[in-house]
Amino acid sequence: MFNFSDPKALYNFMLNGVVEYGTYEDFVKILYTQIDEIVSDMISTSEDFVDASEDYISNKICSSLVDRKFNAVREANENGNADIRIKLGSYKWIAEAKRATAVTNVREGLLQLLTRYAKGEGNATSGGLFIYIQGDDEREGVFMKKWIDTELPKIKESKVIEIISTSPCDLKPTCYISKLIHPDSKNGYSLRHIPIGFFHNPKDKSARNSKKHTTN
C-alpha cells in the first residue's frame, strides 16, 4: 500500500506521475521548484561558495538533482559538453552556467546554450542559464539589472537570438523567463535566467573574531 504520509514516497509518486501522465510543462515546473530549493540551501552556506570554481558549484547543483531522482549529468554530450543536462522519461532540459565576471561572459553562455547544445526539439523546449555571482565585485540585483535591461536588448537587436519577451519568473521573481524562437528548430523556447548570489561579509563582533571568516 502506498504511504501518502511518507514525503519521499509521495515525491517519487509525483515524478512517476509526470512521466506517465504529465506534460513537459509539468516536468519543468517541478524541476524549477527543486532547483530553487537547492539554490536556497546553497545560499544558506554562502561562505562555502564565495571563492568556489564554476565547476564546483555546477557539480553541487547536479549532484543535488540526482539526489532528488532526476537523471542529471554534468558535461553531457549534447553537441559539445553542456554544463548540466536533466532527463525525466522523454523530457529533457539543458543548462549552461557562467560566473558573472562580466555580462559578456554570461552572453557567451547564452549563445553556447542556444546555438550549440540545446536544439529546441519537442519535449526539450525549455532550458536554463545559471549565473554565479560571487564575492565583493558584484551584487545579484545590480548584475541582473545590467544583464536584463542592457545586455539582453543588445542580443535581441543583433538578431542572433529572436527574443520575444523577458519577465520575472512566477515561481521566483529574482529569476527571469525569456520567451524566444529557438534559432535551430524555430520552435517557441523558454529560457530561465537563474542568478545565484554568493556573498558573505558579516560585520558583527563574532564574525570579526572568527578565524573561519575572511574578507575578500
Poorest-pLDDT segment among 52-56, 183-187, 197-201: 197-201
pLDDT of residue 215 exceeding 60, the answer is: no
Among 53, 164, 42, 178, smallest CA distance to 118 is for 178
What is the pLDDT, as a whole number, of residue 79?
83
What is the pLDDT, as a whole number, of residue 122?
95
List the grid coordinates of 108.
557567451
Of residues 15 and 199, which shows the higher confidence score? Answer: 199
Angle at 62 between CA 135 and CA 32, to 5 degrees: 85
What is the pLDDT, as a whole number, of residue 1?
47
Poorest-pLDDT segment among 18-22, 78-82, 131-135, 154-158: 18-22
Three-class secondary structure assignment of the chain: CCCCCCHHHHHHHHHHHHHHHCCHHHHHHHHHHHHHHHHHHHHCCHHHCCCCCHHHHHHHHHHHHHHCCCEEEEEEECCCEEEEEEEECCEEEEEEEEECCCHHHHHHHHHHHHHHHCCCCCCCCEEEEEEEEECCCCCHHHHHHHHHHHHHHHHHHHCCCEEEEEEECCCCCCCEEEEEECCCCCCEEEEEEEEEEECCCCCCHHHHHCCCCCCC
Instruction: Let me know: does 123 contact 200? Beta carbons within 8 Å.
Output: no
What is the pLDDT, as a whole number, of residue 77?
75
Domain boundaries, the chain: 7-199
What is the pLDDT, as a whole number, of residue 66?
95
What is the pLDDT, as a whole number, of residue 209?
65
Q: List pLDDT tens digits, range 90-135.
A: 999 999 999 999 999 999 999 999 999 999 999 999 999 999 999 7
Of residues 130 and 12, which shows the higher confidence score? Answer: 130
pLDDT of residue 210 exceeding 70, the answer is: no
Residues forming beta bridges with residue 171, ordered by sequence position: none
Q: Rounded distance, CA 139 to CA 155, Å?
A: 22
Q: List pLDDT tens digits, range 48-91.
A: 999 999 999 999 999 999 999 899 999 887 888 899 999 988 99
Q: What is the mean pLDDT of residues 36-44?
A: 96
Instruction: Let me know: does 138 contact 131? Beta carbons within 8 Å.
Output: no
Q: What is the mean pLDDT of residues 172-181?
A: 98
pLDDT of residue 11 exceeding 80, the answer is: no
What is the pLDDT, as a whole number, of residue 216?
40
What is the pLDDT, as a whole number, of residue 18?
81
Q: Rounded distance, CA 131 to CA 100, Å?
A: 6
Q: Rounded distance, CA 86 to CA 97, Å?
A: 14
pLDDT of residue 12 exceeding 80, the answer is: no
